[in-house]
Amino acid sequence: MTNQSVIFFDIDGTLLDSNKELPSSTKEAIYKLKELGHIVAIATGRAPFMFEDLRKELDIHTYVSYNGQYVVLNGEVIHTNPLNIPSLEKLTEAALTNNHPVVFMDHEDMKANVPEHAYITESIGTLNIRQFPTHDPKYYKGRELYQTLLFCPEGEESQYEQEFHDFDFIRWHPVSVDILPKGGSKAIGIEKLIEKLGFPAERQFAFGDGLNDLQMLATITNSVAMGNGEEEVKKVAKFVTKSVDDNGILHGLQMVGLL
Other CB atoms within a 10 A radius of the CB of residue 41 amount to 22
Given a contact cutoff of 8 angstroms between Cβ atoms, the answer to whether 203 and 4 are in contact is yes
Out of 10, 12, 106, 168, pick the active-site residue. 10
Which residues partner with 170 through β-bridges?
178
Given a contact cutoff of 8 angstroms between Cβ atoms, the answer to whether 175 and 152 are in contact is yes
Given a contact cutoff of 8 angstroms between Cβ atoms, the answer to whether 113 and 100 are in contact is no
Given a contact cutoff of 8 angstroms between Cβ atoms, the answer to whether 29 and 60 are in contact is no
Beta strand spans in the chain (E): 6-9, 39-43, 63-65, 70-73, 76-80, 102-105, 110-112, 134-135, 147-150, 167-173, 176-181, 204-208, 222-225, 239-240
Given a contact cutoff of 8 angstroms between Cβ atoms, the answer to whether 121 and 142 are in contact is no
Three-state DSSP state, 42: strand
* Integer Cα distance of 236 and 169 in angstroms: 20
- Annotated active-site residue 10? The verdict is yes
User: Which amino acid, one-letter code, is at 138?
Assistant: K
Which residues partner with 155 through β-bridges?
none
Phi and psi of 10, rounded to 5°?
Answer: -70, 165
DSSP designation for 16? B
Active-site residue set? 10
